[in-house]
Amino acid sequence: MHACVFCRVRGGSARASVVHQDDLVLAFMDLMPINPGHVLVVPRMHATGLGEVPDQVGARMWSLGRRLGGALRASPVRCEGVNLFLADGAAAFQTVFHAHLHVIPRFTGDSFPLQGPRAQAPRRELEEGAAQLRELLAHVH
């Protein structure tokens, strides 16, 4: 895993401004922040995508992300809101293939749009999708 920059951060061979570390996760400032205060929360174990993150580790990532969001709101960083963002796969704009949760302080008029054109889906389509996912969810661990 030497090619993985987040594994190198974990191992100490790549520099990072660490905010938190424990037995399961590591949090550090994003080197290319969307806004000042942008933090990444990564599992200590190498996990390329979300499907490889064990439940306990994912829960810790989320819990720490939530707490960091509160810390950002209490900090002097401009923070009117917080996004917790995890990109899983290239099509979802994942660029570092070690699972990671972005904790992004947001403010009105910042330069990171998450809004786009949306349309309400037909109820039949929603019900069919829900039924398919219910069936598949029983087989995904």
pLDDT tens digits, one per residue of 48-69: 999 999 999 999 999 999 999 9
Q: How does residue 85 score in pLDDT terms, banded at 50, 70 and 90?
A: very high
| pLDDT tens-place string over residues 92-104 | 999 999 999 999 9
- What residues are annotated to the active site? 100
Bridge partners (DSSP) listed for residue 73: none
6, 42 in Cβ contact below 8 A? yes
Find tokens 């490889």 and name the residue.
52
Backbone angles phi, psi at 114, to 5 degrees: -115, 5
The answer to whether 20 and 27 are in contact (CB under 8 A) is yes
pTM for this predicted structure: 0.89
Identify whether the C-beta of residue 103 lies closer than 8 Å to the C-beta of residue 41: yes
The stretch 94-115 carries a mean pLDDT of 92
Better-scored residue on pLDDT, 125 or 26: 26
E strand map for the chain: 18-21, 25-29, 39-43, 81-85, 101-106
Q: 88, 49 in Cβ contact below 8 A?
A: yes
